[in-house]
Amino acid sequence: MRSDAIKKGPDHAPARAMLRATGLDDDAIARPLIAVVHTWSNVSPCNLGLRDLAQHAAAGIRDAGGTPIEFNTIAVTDGIAMGSRGMRASLPSRELIADSIELAVDGHCLDAMVLLCGCDKTIPAAAMAAARLDIPTVILYGGTIAHGHCKGRSITIQDVFEAVGQHAAGTLDDDGLREVEAAACPGAGACGGQFTANTMAMVLGFLGLSPMGLNDIPATDPDKGAAARRCGELAVRTLLSGGPTPRAILSPVALRNAARAVSATAGSTNAALHLLAIAHEAGVPFDLEDFHAAAATPVIADLKPGGRYTAAELYAQGGTALVARELRAAGLIDDIPTVTGHTLFADIDAAIAARAPDAAQDAVRPVHAPIKPQGGYAILYGDLAPEGCILKLAGHGRTRHSGPARVFDSEEACFAAVQARAIRPGDVVVIRFEGPVGGPGMREMLAVTAALVGQGLGDDVALITDGRFSGATRGFMVGHVAPEAAVGGPLAYLRDGDIVTVDTATRTLSTDAPLSERTPATIPQRVTGGVLAKFARLVGSASRGATTSAGPDTRVATTAAPAADRVSADDRTAGAGRRELRHPIRRPIDSALVDD
């Protein structure tokens, strides 16, 4: 066992002495030492139940012959940080969580892990740490929140953000806003639609890192504790039987399965960023074109933000195993090994049998009768995004938008303009200098997008940013534009009034402006020290997952690419092979820009 390095032989008597001080006896020290890592915090509902789940997981570990070693790491709650400077901490927290799991588990030579996670960045961070350490690991999501009720309908945190826009538009008064606010979040659990947390929880099941069906169980469901106990037992059993470790599970096939599930549920565009990061940590080839190819998968799950149901309502009708069953029936996913020791298809059958879903359920449709024939996102390129960007398609029928740019150098400036009713139908709202380096931290823009929807502009404007969108975002929204403005990307050259076109048919994000004839915009220095400055120095492009482990030398700044360097028509077809992007100007990132 790995833990023998700290507990066997005379030389390690000091380590054993310290372990004894924690209450462990000879037998407990001799058993496999299994990490129980959680992201408990009482600052939000998302991770509120994880400390209790850790005790259930620990009991399962003891039952199976192991010794649990519990510790926790941080969480940054997007729903609270959204629209503030605190949101800059969100994406960097993913890296810090993965780092802290790696350091604590490696630092104590632990043998296996049960990772308990509960919100947007804690879930991918758990998968990234699992891939790095490659020891027997089971990941369990703490579960979705129950939906609230207001005026006879189910509501989520998405409705609160959109209510802010309605309030600004004068269609909702102070009492009405407070009523929505008070009803939306009734207790523990992560945001209730197919937003980032529930999307990534589903991804873990399709990757094979979580037992199929267990992540679906809502946070306050009485069965959640038993699920945690099972995960504790499974971690020990996997260790003792020599079962599959994360890198044996994570493969290009597993990643494609997960990407197709995201498309089929119109899930969060953040899944692209996180799947790229997980693939990077696992050393698995997977890029934006793989994600785009998966977008051919039709939308078959009727889930918020674009659909009718919350995650808890999907669970009541049978859970994400229903999605898996339909994708398997259509030949859109392939069998893979999983953490259970069985195959994905066997796990799907077991989950379906355990839930016995009603044949009359209407949350998930067959692939041959989808809600939408095209997936919930598309990958675009062009002279505004030579390295790519992602367009969210859920919740609207548009495939093209062209209009004058309204350019803002921060989320706050844009939000102020939206609240002042300064955005007009037809506009293309551009928020730049909010990428991984420029933010720094690549903030989500839910406050802006929800306000636009709340004001009735969701179907009439487009929004483009080198930042990110919340999984609760709906509307014609393009994010993750790369290269970002802060490293000399084309968005830095845009001006108000430039005509910008988003076209899914040609897979392009383009402008008619003479970008190469201009000097790029710059911004005042935002961060000079601390963790955000370190993140800005280390982080790579959003087109490669915005990880910090790749190192800054992998990034180059790209100025406006001429029309001849746009993606060819052949390359724009779904499933196209890897492209080699040609950039007319490539230079190392200026240290002053990084410090910003």
Q: Nearest-CA neighbor of 500 among 517, 485, 514, 513?
A: 513
From residue 70, give the alpha-carbon distance in Å to each of 50, 52, 148, 257: 12, 12, 33, 32
Residue 382 Ramachandran class (φ > 0 left, ψ -120 to 50 alpha, else beta): left
Instruction: Choose among 259, 321, 303: nearest CA to 284.
Output: 259
Residue whose token pair is 């049960």: 114
Q: Is the Cα torsion angle 91, 97, 100, 105 positive or negative in sign?
A: negative
Helical residues (DSSP H) of 208-306, grouped into ranges: 224-241, 246-249, 252-264, 270-282, 288-294
Q: What is the 3-state secondary structure (H, E, C) of 366-435?
A: CCCCCCECCCCEEEEECCCCCCEEEEECCCCCCCEEEEEEEEECCHHHHHHHHHCCCCCCCCEEEECCCC
Which residue is listed with tokens 């921060």? 410
CB 45 within 8 A of CB 148: no
Tally the C-alpha atoms within 13 A of residue 237's C-alpha that lie toward its C-beta: 14
What does the block give as tokens for 462? 């487009």
Closest CA to 284 of 257, 252, 254: 252
Examine the residue annotation and report whether 470 is marked as an active-site residue of this protein.
yes
Q: What one-character DSSP code corresponds to residue 510?
A: E
The sheet carrying 137-141 orders its strands as 67-72, 33-38, 112-117, 137-141
Residue 512: CB atoms within 10 Å: 12
Number of neighbouring beta carbons within 10 Å of residue 8: 14
Which phi and psi (to 5°) does residue 584 adopt? -70, -30
CB 311 within 8 A of CB 193: yes
- Please answer whether residues 279 and 224 qualify as being in contact, where contact means their C-beta atoms are separated by less than 8 angstroms: no
SS3 502: strand
C-alpha atoms less than 13 angstroms from C-alpha of 297 in its C-beta half-sphere: 34
Choose the catalytic residue: 470, 510, 541, 543. Answer: 470
462-465 and 377-380 strand pairing: unpaired
**Can you say whether residue 356 is alpha, beta or left, with left for phi > 0 and alpha for psi between -120 and 50 degrees?**
left
Task: Write the DSSP symbol of residue 469.
Answer: -
State the CB neighbour count (10 A cutoff) for residue 139: 28
Residues 473, 450 contacting (CB under 8 angstroms): yes
Where in the sequence numbering do the catalytic residues fall? 470
